[in-house]
Amino acid sequence: MKDLIQRNRIYQMDCIKGMKKLRSEVDVIVTSPPYNIGVRYNLYDDRKTRNEYLSWMNEVANVSKKVLNENGSFFLNIGGTLSDPWIPLDVAQEFRKNGYILQNLIHWIKSIALPKECMGNYPHNKSDIAVGHYKPINSKRYHHDCQEFIFHFTKTGNVELDKLSIGVPYQDKSNIRRWKSANGDKRDRGNTWFIPYKTIQESRPHPSSFPIKLPEMCLKDHGLNKIDLVLDPFMGIGTTALACIQLNKDFIGFEIDESYITIANERISNFHNEKIIPIEKSSDLCRKHSISLNEYEGEFCVSKS
């Protein structure tokens, strides 16, 4: 690694500058950049012109490609708005222009309704279910937004995954015998990943953090035995770092906002001390560090499951 950048630290630094200090040694990048939808971050202004934003994302793609290993994976989580659903797709095109191959188009599902009649005739399916967390919207035009993208970019399109590490059990166990390729009671979960937010009535320390399960699943999917170093260029309050610590992997993070890094480091040290921060205490932490609170979906608490 070039000078200054050490592993298992989050640097208060612009990610382009930060990535330029790295060599090509990153196995997995998992991140969620600002979406340019006017989210009220503590410091960052999330309202660039579309051209400015896309040329910035183009640069992120360009520089990240130089630090990612030939067989690495870049999991890019991004969503849009109901009135501007093109944002994630436009960003994906910037990655494409830089030679990234879209190896998997994964849908992060935040809420879903499953009618009993569609779930098959199994004794454990007792009624219709609706699971997950969503913001009801008052619109005659739009459905509420219950998915975001996780673009899985690679350099070759040929990166072998460890799909069964995040596999799901067969509903119909007779398939285990019937399908020769079946590997025990596990099958590929496919490209729809249901990852609900924890329900929190409290205000949150960061307006757009993702659940820890998201980076965790990306890392497992790439294959833990192939990972030496993980990068999150937009580290926020350290969710990717926590997933890495949980999975015993080295990480490097960049984040421009010192207050988010303070929260991230506090989450990390609590995690190391095996302490679980009760969800209702998250706003205490914010007050302690004079961080503005946001009413938004997100997860703060980390539990070691």
Ligand X SMILES: C[S@@+](CC[C@H](N)C(=O)[O-])C[C@H]1O[C@@H](n2cnc3c(N)ncnc32)[C@H](O)[C@@H]1O
Output the smallest distance, CB 135 to ligand X, in A.
17
Cβ-based nearer residue to ligand X, 59 or 250:
59
Site string for ligand X, 241-260 (x = CB under 6 A): -------------xxxx--x
Cβ-based nearer residue to ligand X, 79 or 223:
79
Name which of residues 12 to 71 contact ligand X (CB under 6 A): 14-15, 32-34, 41, 43-44
Output the smallest distance, CB 91 to ligand X, in A.
12
- Are 9 and 241 in contact, with CB atoms under 8 Å apart? no
Name which of residues 159 to 218 contact ligand X (CB under 6 A): 206, 208-210
One-letter amino acid at 202 equals E
Output the smallest distance, CB 105 to ligand X, in A.
20
Place of tokens 């934003």: 53
Q: Of the listed pieces 119-127, 150-158, 221-229, 233-241, which binds ligand X according to CB under 6 A?
A: 233-241
- Are 28 and 252 in contact, with CB atoms under 8 Å apart? no
Among 53, 197, 234, 271, binds ligand X (CB under 6 A): 234
Percentages helix, strand, coil for the chain (3-state, rounded to 5) are 30, 20, 50
Q: What's the CA gap between 121 and 166, in Å, rounded?
A: 25
Q: What's the CA gap between 245 and 251, in Å, rounded?
A: 8
Q: What's the CA gap between 284 and 13, in Å, rounded?
A: 26
Q: What's the CA gap between 150 and 192, in Å, rounded?
A: 10
Output the smallest distance, CB 246 to ligand X, in A.
14
Q: Taking CB positions, which residue lies at the least distance from ligand X?
A: 236
Give the residue from 91, 88, 103, 218 showing the smallest Cα distance to 159. Answer: 103
Binding site for ligand X (CB under 6 A): 14-15, 32-34, 41, 43-44, 206, 208-210, 233-234, 236-237, 239, 254-257, 260
